[in-house]
């Protein structure tokens, strides 16, 4: 039995990193939804029709929820401990961005300044993301 155990014990330790999921992550998904939130806020402000404004709020809240989803997928699935070590602000950046997308942020307001703050946080995440990937593709 010891011989079999010795034969089956690995002699080399390997590390792997997924090519498929990491190859498809992109903060652009969160940015596009955040841009939609900002555009909807503008349309809401420019229209007095109650039904239109109700629909605008509903759609804005859905888009803000998608921003949170895309940010959390990046945070939990793409970024690794070595990224946090190199960019120690990442945790706070994601926390702040998802708060800005949530009920206390863009989801719960029609203030365009909040949408601008959210877009600025996503831009910071985008910069770090592409630095970890070795630069944006041409």
In angstroms, rounded to a whole number, what is the distance separating the alpha carbons of residues 74 and 8?
Answer: 37
Q: Sorting pLDDT into bands at 50, 70 and 90, what band is 28?
A: very high
Looking at domain 24-132, its CATH class is mainly alpha
Is the pLDDT at 19 greater than 60, yes or no? no
In angstroms, rounded to a whole number, what is the distance separating the alpha carbons of residues 61 and 36?
Answer: 10
Q: Sorting pLDDT into bands at 50, 70 and 90, what band is 9?
A: confident
In angstroms, rounded to a whole number, what is the distance separating the alpha carbons of residues 65 and 101?
Answer: 7
Which are the contacts of 52, defined by CB distance < 8 A and separation ≥ 6?
Answer: none
What is the model's pLDDT at position 136?
Answer: 82
What is the model's pLDDT at position 54?
Answer: 98
In angstroms, rounded to a whole number, what is the distance separating the alpha carbons of residues 93 and 27?
Answer: 13
Query: Domain map of the chain by residue range?
Result: 24-132
pLDDT tens digits, one per residue of 69-113 = 999 999 999 999 999 999 999 999 999 999 999 999 999 999 999
3-state DSSP call for residue 98? Answer: helix
């Amino acid at each position: 039995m010891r011989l079999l155990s010795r034969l089956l014990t690995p002699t080399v330790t390997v590390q792997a990193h997924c090519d498929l999921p990491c190859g498809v992550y992109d903060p652009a998904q969160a940015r596009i939804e955040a841009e939609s939130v900002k555009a909807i806020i503008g349309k809401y402000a420019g229209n007095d029709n109650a039904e239109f404004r109700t629909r605008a709020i509903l759609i804005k809240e859905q888009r803000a929820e998608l921003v949170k989803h895309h940010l959390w997928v990046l945070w939990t699935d793409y970024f690794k401990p070595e990224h946090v070590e190199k960019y120690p602000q990442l945790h706070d950046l994601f926390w702040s961005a998802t708060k800005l997308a949530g009920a206390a942020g863009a989801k719960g307001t029609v203030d365009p300044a909040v949408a601008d703050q959210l877009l600025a946080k996503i831009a910071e995440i985008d910069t770090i993301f592409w630095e970890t990937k070795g630069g944006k593709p041409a």
